[in-house]
Structure 1
Amino acid sequence: MTRKNVLFLCTGNSCRSQMAEGWARHFHGDAVEAYSAGIEAHGMNPNAMQVMKEAGVDISGQSSKLASSLSDVELDVVVTVCGHADENCPTFLTKAKVVHVGFDDPPKLAKEAADEEAALDCYRRVRDEIRDFVRDELPGLVE
């Protein structure tokens, strides 16, 4: 069986798309070659790395990168995980099947948090929503 190339795309490739890449490797590494990238590259979000590690998935070896750095990869599916990326998806990516599944932005949610633990809870909620999508819905997208 040939593994499918799946890209998770968001604005800054620091949080949501990184979590999705980590979950895809964790749950579907035998069937999917997972990538993440952004319209911009903002670096890895330390809170995203922390809450993923809490869930048993280490994403610290991943890196924040621009979508253009993957222009030579033949993608089968592109999953945009934020509205900005969906609206600004680079045209070279649209040769693949493009699916939009929007998730809240944890850093934006965390700005309203009362303390650090409440801020991390914002990341945990979105982490778990992404986990459920990748675990349960991704297989149907790559068939």
Structure 2
Amino acid sequence: MKYKVAFVCVHNSCRSQMAEGWAKALGKDVLEAYSAGTENYPEVKPLAVEVMEEAGVSMEGYRPKLLTDIPQELDILITMGCNVVCPFVPNRHSEDWGLNDPSGGPIEGFRETRDMIKEKVENLINRIENGELKL
């Protein structure tokens, strides 16, 4: 069974996009992954795309999406650490990953964020597969 998971932040231009990329690459057997934001943004941050491609995850065709562009009922809602009131979509399990936004900083910050997100996505997949999340 696949669980619908959405990674959500304000602009859907960096952290949530990386999380969607990792979830699609690592969790394709258990996750149906989406990402979205609460505000329009013109593009996915080029450095986010670059560091994901360094790690072997293509983000070709990825674009910022709004909450209205994803399923309105989810199994899992992950907020990325919004620094504002995080958005809500009906779900069966939610958590906030509290990640700092590397936008505006050097590429090393994007790499650190990418690696933290990968670890968190792997942990989420493991918790699902081990039955630790009650979905």
- State the TM-score, normalized to the length of structure 1: 0.82
1:95: Cα distance to partner? 3.7
Structure 1: gaps spanning 5 or more residues: 111-118
Q: After TM superposition, where is structure 1 displaced by more than 3 Å over at least 4 residues in a row?
A: none
Q: Within 2, Cα distance between the matches of 1:65 and 1:77?
A: 18
Give yes or no for contact 2:79–2:86 (8 Å, CA) kept in 1.
Answer: no
Report the Cα distance in structure 1 between the residues aligned to 2:53 and 2:102, rounded to whole angstroms: 16
Considering fraction of residues, name the structure with more helix: 1
Deviation at 1:84, TM superposition (A): 3.5
Equivalent position of 2:12 in the other structure? 13
Q: What is aligned with 2:32? A: 33
Give the residue type in structure 1 aligned to 2:51: V
- The residue identity in structure 2 corresponding to 1:10 is C
Following superposition, the deviation at residue 138 of structure 1 comes to 3.8
* Partner of residue 88, structure 1: 86
The structure with more radius of gyration: 1
Partner of 1:66: 66
TM-aligned CA deviation for residue 44 of structure 1: 0.8
1:98 CA displacement: 1.6
- Per-residue deviation, residues 14-58 of structure 1 (Å, max 9, x unmatched): 000000000001111111000000011312111100000000001
Q: How many residues align?
A: 129
Structure 1 vs Structure 2: percent identity of aligned residues? 36
TM-score, normalising length: structure 2: 0.86
Matches within 5 A, 1:62-141: 62-70=62-70, 72-84=71-83, 87-90=85-88, 93-108=89-104, 110=105, 119-140=106-127
Note the alpha carbon deviations across 1:55-101, whole angstroms, 9 max, x for none.
0001122221101222x44310000002346x2313xx134322111
